[in-house]
Structure 1
């Protein structure tokens, strides 16, 4: 299976939310990363056929998804940033309802609902009303509804929002297991989640794709550019103005700055291994 974006652009009035997007996605997890306003949600809504592009088209195995209609939607699972739910439904009732909307038989709906609630760790909460669940638990219900119908394509917009560390680890495991048979497009501001599960990273800025690379290749670009420097607190501001800093820690009167620089920024600077926060600062900071 192949999903292709051909010269996708989207205008809101004179504002270009997306410009000339060309991508080819196959089975695996694609992490979509960019600052607020980069066009991530717009791209995801076009990919799900909820929003029409101003120019270009999205092809599934060579066929325009706009023409495939319901046949495409049956192969799609989508978790928007804010998914709608009925607060007085139980977790089980909600998933059964969504399953029927997706065209599952009563038997399939019942079986998949139970299996997915087990997968996301909510089977024991299946009879609890959604309004009584925590934000993280409701988000797990949202992930489960995206998986109903065993879709070939998963589009997940900020799926780890509200999840605690244990829930995020569970989510990573679910996505990693699914990635062998599905195409997953995943957007999140938690860059460590993308590093853990993404086969490829799509970096989006001001509506344009900057690059598409594997996480380790993106980090390799920063080799020799990441440093930590310990300075007195009174000199911290001067360094922070001169160099992009991904982290600043304070220890008494000493400030420890993690910064990016092509040259050694200080005689006592220590070279560090790049991480995803450094990469984000390199591409999107400033």
Structure 2
């Protein structure tokens, strides 16, 4: 197992109805984006980390380590928000005059960038709750219940299955190249890496053609049929959804100063 699969198959929540877990994630994403604040997203991150730890058995350290991956991409993307153009140096914390304007950073732009990053992390944490507790097969069954187009689901499943084939093929070829000292120098490394990409593409194409022929031989008609297992009731998860929604709305009201004194 690679990626997040090892967490989903080990999670104590993997046998719970995936539709309920997907609902919690979708509601949280809507609130993180709709409220426009930071506290609602921070609440989602902390609540999902606690649920995955206490109910799913996923270590909190692994959850936050996985959050670091999108965090740095978001920080780079937020640079365009933090750096802004100002008519003069009024309110500019740091900047440089270019032409007739000042380009720099202000307290308002820093706050806007931080709000953007935190809101996005809240959405990522919402997705992680489902991904880290639901195997892909069960997730596809939940999407099928929500009437996602069959063609899209079939493509998702085939692409997901083929990731493992490509990974295994690329790893074997790389080990063979290393055994032949294919990465001894920088020039050899570039040459070996280019050869690896080309050969993986060719072998993937041939493997995909063979898989499609085998599917047709087994009666494939545009949809991969999967028997749904017996899931545990998701009633408790729906209660978590109600509680999280109330907590996020309360955090939003608190941030806006709309709570009664």
TM-score normalized with structure 1 length? 0.24
Tell me which protein shows more strand as a share of its residues.
1
The structure number with the bigger radius of gyration is 2
TM-score normalized with structure 2 length? 0.25
